Amino acid sequence: MSAARKPHSLKSTLLAVRLKARIAREGPIPVADYMEACLADQDAGYYPSRQPIGADGDFITAPEVSQIFGELLGLWAVAVWQSMGEPKPVIVAELGPGRGTLMADALRAWRSVPRFLESVQVAMVETSPLLREVQQTALHGAEAPILWCDQLADVPIGASIVIANEFVDALPVRQLVWRDGAWRERCVSIDPRGGFAFCEGRPVPDENLKHAAHTLSVPDGSILEIRPAGNTLISGLAARAREAPLAALILDYGHEETACGDTLQTVSRHRFVDPLQAPGDVDLTAHVDFAALKDSTIAHGLAAYGPIPQGEFLLKLGLEARREALCKTATPEQQQDIVSGANRLTDPSAMGLLFKAFAMTRAGLAPLPPFGEI
């Protein structure tokens, strides 16, 4: 799909002006800094100032595709809690919880396990005031206590189950370009016409990165993406695991093995657009390097599971049985929606293969379902 241009809003224009002033003052800025500003700027960033999810937004996530997704993840959390010895209380924390749909579906599933519902406390880790309002509406009347936190570090310490669905892909990535025997930071500058343009900065003095070039046998001009914020996330989870039992599940799109390639992509109204157009008005993400996440997980002393394709993960959790149960009491039109939604989650040509499930636990805990069955 070719990238299209998107009209600039006033907020986008103001953010562009500030970014250009910064570039004029400091020189070209790394792609990671540009991505951070576009997504998280408190005045004009994409997430603080917009409600992006759903048919009327820019993209649709798995919980919006089918209620089965959130229900299965809710029951997965129950199974993990049981394997922990049923601690009370237990915290289920969701990172970047979107419109609250996943948690609403999980809470409904928890009604079938009263002991868990009596033990659970929910933490919604969300920085966007707009999305918090949407989540509060979705979870109004919930049968478990819910608190909202700005970051993972604000979640109370205790036995924890952390869920991050399509969260890591929005963490900023550095892009490095292999040029003349060295990795150079890929940056954003201003072109002669006054627009944004990619450029290459100075060599990055990192021997480990230089070794990566030879390991991957990359040609000149290759782009390598690294995500320091991913390592920071794992470090934060490891810190919690040192204090209390912890399990975490990451579901996102990406690749199992580290490889070169430019995966930076921008979506607006369900279409790809130019990543340097309309900063702050569009969703800006990059594929998750699950091999790097796994290496970081192990390096921080956590047990790692997966990644496995999302389709395989959901099928092993019982997606087909849940789909059939829902269809039994549904109208023909509802049945069609139930089946198409379930298929989209598991079909290799849709979300079943590109999306992966990766999990981790505090060392010494029982293997996580369904990874322990592999």
Query: Tens digit of pLDDT for each residue in 189-247?
Result: 999 999 999 999 989 887 667 656 667 778 999 999 999 999 999 999 999 999 999 99
Q: Which residues pair with 64 in a beta bridge?
A: none
In tens, the pLDDT along 94-140 reads 999 999 999 999 999 999 999 999 999 999 999 988 899 999 999 99
Question: What predicted TM-score, i.e. pTM, was given to this entire model?
Answer: 0.93
Residue type, 266: T
Domains defined along the chain, listed by start: 52-170+228-254+285-373 (3.40.50.150)
Q: List the single range of 52-61, 110-119, 344-353 with lowest mean pLDDT.
A: 52-61
**pLDDT exceeding 70 applies to what percent of the chain?**
91
pLDDT digits (tens, 9 = 90+) for 142-182: 999 999 999 999 999 999 999 999 999 999 999 999 998 88
* pLDDT higher than 90, residue 59: no
Residue 6 confidence (pLDDT): 46
Least confident window among 52-61, 77-86, 100-109: 52-61
What's the Cα-to-Cα distance from 168 to each of 62, 290, 339, 352, rounded to whole Å? 15, 10, 28, 18
Closest CA to 356 of 77, 169, 123, 79: 169
Using alpha carbons, select from 233, 216, 223, 74 the residue that is nearest to residue 168: 233
pLDDT, residue 47, reads: 82
Q: Which residues contact 85 (CB under 8 A, 6 or more apart)?
A: none
pLDDT band with cut points at 50, 70 and 90 for residue 270: low
CA 211 to each of CA 78, 229, 294: distance values in angstroms, whole numbers, following the listed order: 43, 22, 19
Quote the tokens at residue 279.
Answer: 């900063």
